[in-house]
Amino acid sequence: AKDAKTGVVMYDPGTLVHQPSRLVLLGDLRRALDRTDELVLHYQPKVALNMDQVCGAEALVRWHHPVRGMVSPAEFIPIAESTGLINRLTVHVLALALRQVRRWLDDGHEIPVAVNLSPRCLLDTSLLDTVRNLLTRYGVPARMLRLEVTETAVMGNPALALATLTGLHELGVRLAIDDYGTGYSSMAYLKRLPVDELKVDRSFVLNMTASDNDAILVRSAIDLGHNLGLTVVAEGVETDQHVEALRHLGCDIAQGYHFARPMPAEDVVEWLRTSGR
């Protein structure tokens, strides 16, 4: 830990235990990005509630580490975020996702894919060119790409974030606010962002059938989104009860284990066929 005032690095026993493995992971991640197929994307379907039809999928990165086995993104994304590595990782993920969208299009399946952007990515002035170039390289229409950002990411540097988001939106890429409800935002603030979709955080959805407070939050998020002309997505939809409650509240799209877990690309078309969606 670095003392903010003096800049002196101090070792406290709590962090010491974790530091070597963070460093090792960071090195391994660098290597994984350079020359291996250790990083793969899994895709989780998004289902339009009114028609019970699939309307896209979210790409979620998976790391098959040669020694440690599967490493969760919850573990390595924060490590990548603490360094510039997240920008390279994002480019890698974007390329994999767009290549997959192209493959599905070639097989006659139109499946728009959403990719997660870390806060740092919104500060990367080369992101817009990167996205434009990758869309061209894979011959994917911009409307087939969705990008998910959190409110907190936008708050970090609102002016720069807004410029990046506006550029992406003008390209035709759709934008979503991810994990809605976990950060701050006001209607006035959201209104200024060129976003198309509001994703209600799974923690509220998961508890909405047990907790009145969470049910109220989900309801007001849906109403707010609709008042702003946004499509509202509920994530973490695990049960029939969730689906019923969300339909009742007029939620547009649902995503969660109730429909499908994130799965390898090669399983998606088969899942579409067997689920009839």
Range 27-56, binding ligand C2E (CB under 6 A): 44
Q: 38, 52, 196, 238: which one contacts ligand C2E (CB under 6 A)?
A: 238
Q: Is 151 in the site for Ca ion (CB under 5 A)?
A: no
Site string for ligand C2E, 82-101 (x = CB under 6 A): -----------x--------
Q: Does 202 bind ligand C2E (CB under 6 A)?
A: yes
**Nearest-approach distance from CB 85 to ligand C2E, in angstroms:** 11
Q: Shortest distance, CB of residue 140 to ligand C2E, whole angstroms?
A: 17
User: Binding to ligand C2E by residue 257, rule CB under 6 A?
Assistant: yes
In whole angstroms, the minimum distance from the beta carbon of 42 to ligand C2E comes to: 7
3-state per-residue secondary structure call for the chain: CECCCCCCECCCHHHHCCHHHHHHHHHHHHHHHHHCCCEEEEEEEEEECCCCEEEEEEEEEEEEECCCEEECHHHHHHHHHCCCHHHHHHHHHHHHHHHHHHHHHHCCCCCCEEEECCHHHHHCCCHHHHHHHHHHHHCCCHHHEEEEEEHHHHHHCHHHHHHHHHHHHHHCCEEEEEEECCCCCCHHHHHHCCCCEEEECHHHHHHCCCCHHHHHHHHHHHHHHHHCCCEEEEECCCCHHHHHHHHHHCCCEEECCCCCCCEEHHHHHHHHHHHCC
User: How many chain residues bind ligand C2E (CB under 6 A)?
Assistant: 20
* Choices 2-10, 70-78, 134-142, 190-198; region in contact with ligand C2E by CB under 6 A: 70-78
